[in-house]
Amino acid sequence: MIPITDESRFVSEAVVAFERAIGVTGVPHGLEQVGNKVFLKFAVGRECPLYDNALFESQIALSEDNPFKGALALAAVKTRTFPGSIEANALLTLLTRSTREVSQGGSSRGYSVPYVPFQKREDHQLAQPATHIVRGRRGVGKSTLIRRATDLLADGSSVVCVLDMQGYSTESGDELTLDVMYDACAGFVREAEILSERVGLKVDVTALKQIVQNIELGALNVKRAPIIIKRALSTLTAATKGNVFLFLDDFHLIDRVSQPHLLHALNGALKGANGWLKVAGLTSLLNVYSPEHREGLQHPGDAQFISLDLTLENPEAAETHLRAILEGFLNAVGYRLTRDVIPDAAFRRLAWANAGVPRDFLQMFARSLEHATRNRHAAVTLSDVNVAIGEFGQQKMDDLQKDARNEAGLLQKVLAKLEDICLVQNRINAFLFRSDDPKEQMLMQILSDLRMVHLINQSITPRKSGERFQAYILDYSMFTGVRRRPNIQEMIPKQLQFRASELRALPKVGPDVLMSAMTETAA
Amino acid sequence: MANGFVSLKGDDHSKVSVDLAVDFPDRASWSQRLAKLYTCRLYADYDNWSDTAANFPLKAGAAISEAEQFIDVVRKYLKDKFKLAL
């Protein structure tokens, strides 16, 4: 027999551990006599991998004298609807934890949903000893891909360092270069020591430690830094018989002019020492090579591109990818992607409105689920999705301010022009765009990267042959929710692709529109 | 062995779901599957009456199948990691 006071302490310890692991509080529980042993059972809707993991992690965390160590179990209690279930609540926490924009640091504690690969095994490609530039829109899965690649490299003899570049976004020039080199070398030292312990290999990191110290003391000349680091890394990789990988996530946040210079210095430190750079960022805000200074990474000589975008140009592929991702999350809490969770029409609306961007899609699904729970709906309905889409607009505008600080004013002007032409004058959410000016093309690409417009067709010829346009839709946040405009015709493919006749009829946006926005901003 | 001990106090059964080796395949999942087998064993030994049959988390056939699968996984694990053939 356990004394009553001790028993409540032991129960409390176990309940706190379990609830923390699944991210839900107030899970009903009770004691049950099983043979000669008392079990603590949690009343949940159904068994699932998330609970398996939570029970296991909780039991390991319990103090040694806790009698429920090895005596925690689940008791399945039928739930009426998915939105009202404990599993839906646990899923919301899992979605929040999983959609944080983090690649740096070790694997986070807690359950992680199995990775859903893209179509070309980009994760294995990124884990290869080669220099890569990973490009894609915001939220498309660049940081997730980096985490996956580092997981693949974890068991081998590689030394891996991941740097989130946001911390360096206010720096430039030599200060930036030395700070990044300092953190990279300190990271290599830390990881080499872990590797050394794991495989029982003696690895000398004295030279790298000395570099770190010299940078700290201001005793390392920035021009000599690459060659000195290269020598130290050559010694390291010769000892490990492996490779060194430096991942730079959100590299587009670095001062645009400084980007090629920094990459030039880092590549100089790694190249020829079995060291490889992996750079990830928004397509249009990356500036990896400066022809003027002949600095940076040149494609394809120095680096290969890995593009992650699954756009609405191929709605079926984008939808299939999102379906697989959501299925993975639902499986974690014991559910399948069926109409009891979200009817097909609501799912397709969610996938289309998020233009195939996984993080947006998951975050908006989470918000839709919250609405469904609050409104006591039997499943996530189309109206829950519509409300969530409208609420999401402000976040995208915030992203625009954060990612494109220097050009935010111009981008907002362009958006206002597009809004007027599409939503006010033509009452439709799509347009055709054509420009031969690289700056204007870049503007549209930035808006696409920031998910304010979405490409639906790369090449359409509405008038005379040879005059090619791109077709875009405006993001749903521009005409739903708080910015709701009634009676807007939505471009949604009736089949798997749009018909050419539908696209040809869209309003046209020419160079004059963007030019006037640029002029207004300059004034 | 990855992890082993002998206990004569009868408290060793509950450890089976907690003390699986760190690199044991599907560790969290097997932890719960073993906990269910342990529950079956407790009911079978102490509460095996006609009116308690519904308490068993697994039917007899399923429990045997689970145990056999676990033995297969353990065999493979020991063979792969320690070159031990059982």
CA distance A200 to chain B (A): 16
**For residue B70, what are its two tokens?**
């676990």
CA torsion sign for A127, A133, A139, A140 is: negative
Contact across the interface for A73 and B42, Cβ inside 8 Å: no
pLDDT digits (tens, 9 = 90+) for B12-49: 677 777 888 888 999 999 999 999 999 998 899 888 88
CA dist., res. A94 & res. A471, Å (int): 36
Q: Which two tokens stand for residue A231?
A: 């020598």
Query: How far is residue A108's CA from residue A517's CA, in Å, rounded to a whole number?
Result: 44
Of B16, B46, B57, Cβ closest to residue A35: B46
Give the C-alpha separation, A270 to A234, whole Å: 9
ipTM of model: 0.82
Mean pLDDT of B54-76: 93
Question: Are the beta carbons of B28 and A56 separated by less than 8 Å?
Answer: yes
3-state helix, strand, coil in chain B (%, to 5): 65, 0, 35
Residues A435-449 have pLDDT tens digits of: 888 888 888 988 998
Confidence (pLDDT) at A80: 87
pTM of the shown model: 0.85
With 0-12 / 13-18 / 19 or more C-beta atoms within 10 angstroms meaning exposed / middle / buried, residue A264 is buried
Please say whether the dihedral angle defined by the alpha carbons of residues A357, A358, A360 and A366, taken in this order, is positive or negative.
positive
Name every chain A residue with its beta carbon within 8 A of the beta carbon of B3.
none
Res B9 pLDDT > 90: no
| A34 backbone dihedrals φ, ψ, rounded to 5° | -120, 105
What distance separates the 2 farthest-apart alpha carbons in chain A?
A: 89
Predicted pLDDT at B6: 62
Q: Which residues pair with A41 in a beta bridge?
A: A30, A73
**Can you give the pLDDT at residue A312?**
77
* The pLDDT value given to residue A510: 83
Which of A34, A52, A56 has its CB closest to that of B42?
A34
The residue written with tokens 């312990």 in the block is A197
Using alpha carbons only, give the angle A501, A503, A505 rounded to the nearest 5 degrees.
75
Residues of B (15-34) whose Cβ lies below 8 Å from A: 15-18, 27-29, 31-32
Distance from CA of A45 to the nearest CA of B (A): 15
Q: Which residues of chain A have pLDDT under 70?
A: 1-5, 101-109, 119, 405-406
Per the CB < 8 Å rule, is A55 touching B35? yes
pLDDT score of A2: 57
Q: Do A70 and B35 touch (CB under 8 A)?
A: yes
Q: What does the pLDDT read at residue A138? A: 87
Position B1 scores a pLDDT of: 52
Q: Are A69 and B47 a contacting pair at CB < 8 A?
A: no
* Record: contact A52-B17, CB cut-off 8 A: no
Q: Are A94 and A331 in contact (CB under 8 A)?
A: no
